[in-house]
Amino acid sequence: MNLLNPYTPGAGTRPTLLAGRGTQTALLRNLADQVEAGRTGNPIVYIGLRGMGKTSLMYAARDLLRERGWLAGYFEVRRNVEPGVAVQTIIADSAQLSTGKLRAALAAGGHRIGGMKLTLSPAGFSFEIDTDKRTANPVADPFPALVAFLRALGADARANGVGVALLIDELQLFRKRDLAVLIQALSALEDEPIVLIGAGLPGLPADMAKANTYAERFRFEGIGPLHDPDAKEAVVGPAFGQGILWDAHAVSSLITSAQGYPYFLQLYASEAWIAADGAPTITPEHLEASTNAAQRQLNVGLYTARYDRLSGREREYVDALAALMPSNVDRVGSSDVAHKLGKTLSVVAPVRDRVIKKGIVHSPAFGMLEFSVPGFASYVVARSTTADL
Q: What is the pLDDT of residue 287?
A: 97
Distance CA 199, CA 115 (A): 28
Higher pLDDT, 368 or 99: 368
Question: Which CATH number fits the domain 22-222, given the four candidates 3.40.50.2300, 3.30.260.10, 3.40.50.620, 3.40.50.300?
Answer: 3.40.50.300
Q: What is the pLDDT of residues 149-190, one digit of tens each?
A: 888 888 878 887 788 899 999 999 888 888 888 888 888 988
Q: What is the pLDDT of residue 139?
A: 46
Residue 143 has pLDDT above 90, yes or no: no
pLDDT interval class at 134 (50, 70, 90):
very low
Higher pLDDT, 88 or 105: 88
Please tell me which of 59-73, 107-121, 150-164, 249-263 the model is most confident about, judged by mean pLDDT.
249-263
Residue 8 has pLDDT above 60, yes or no: yes
Residue 101 has pLDDT above 60, yes or no: no
Distance CA 291, CA 298 (A): 11
All CATH 1.10.10.10 domain ranges of the chain, comma separated, are: 309-388
pLDDT interval class at 2 (50, 70, 90):
confident
Higher pLDDT, 238 or 119: 238
Residue 84 has pLDDT above 90, yes or no: no
Residue 340 has pLDDT above 60, yes or no: yes
pLDDT interval class at 141 (50, 70, 90):
low
Distance CA 296, CA 304 (A): 11
Beta pairing class for 332-333 and 368-371:
antiparallel
3-state secondary structure the chain: CCCCCCCCCCCCCCCCCCCCCHHHHHHHHHHHHHHHCCCCCCCEEEECCCCCCHHHHHHHHHHHHHHCCCEEEEEECCCCCCHHHHHHHHHHHHHCCCCCHHHHHHHHHCCEECCEEEEEECCEEEEEECCCCCCCCCCCCHHHHHHHHHHHHHHHHHHCCCCEEEEEECHHHCCHHHHHHHHHHHHCCCCCCEEEEEEECCCHHHHHHHHCHHHHHCEEEECCCCCHHHHHHHHHHHHHCCCCEECHHHHHHHHHHHCCCHHHHHHHHHHHHHHHCCCCEECHHHHHHCHHHHHHHHHHHHHHHHHHCCCHHHHHHHHHHHHCCCCCCCCEEHHHHHHHHCCCHHHHHHHHHHHHHCCCEECCCCCEEEECCCCHHHHHHHHHHHHHC
Lowest mean pLDDT among 51-65, 77-91, 119-133, 223-237: 119-133
Please tell me which of 116-120, 211-215, 286-290 the model is most confident about, judged by mean pLDDT.
286-290
Higher pLDDT, 142 or 121: 142
Nearest Cα residue to 370 out of 382, 356, 380: 356
Contact predicate 329/365, CB 8 Å: no
Higher pLDDT, 178 or 104: 178
Distance CA 233, CA 255 (A): 11
DSSP bridge partners of 322: none
Higher pLDDT, 117 or 154: 154
CATH architecture type of domain 228-301: Orthogonal Bundle (1.10)
Domain 309-388 sits in CATH at: 1.10.10.10
Higher pLDDT, 175 or 347: 347
pLDDT interval class at 217 (50, 70, 90):
confident
pLDDT interval class at 133 (50, 70, 90):
very low
Q: What is the pLDDT of residues 55-77, one digit of tens each?
A: 999 999 999 998 888 888 888 98
Residue 110 has pLDDT above 70, yes or no: no
Q: What is the pLDDT of residue 88?
A: 75
Lowest mean pLDDT among 84-98, 100-114, 278-292: 100-114
pLDDT interval class at 229 (50, 70, 90):
very high
Residue 37 has pLDDT above 50, yes or no: yes
Tell me the pLDDT of the chain averaged across its residues. Answer: 85
Q: What is the pLDDT of residue 308?
A: 94
Of the chain, the percentage scoring pLDDT greater than 90 comes to 50
Residue 108 has pLDDT above 80, yes or no: no
Please tell me which of 30-44, 73-87, 258-272 the model is most confident about, judged by mean pLDDT.
258-272
All CATH 3.40.50.300 domain ranges of the chain, comma separated, are: 22-222
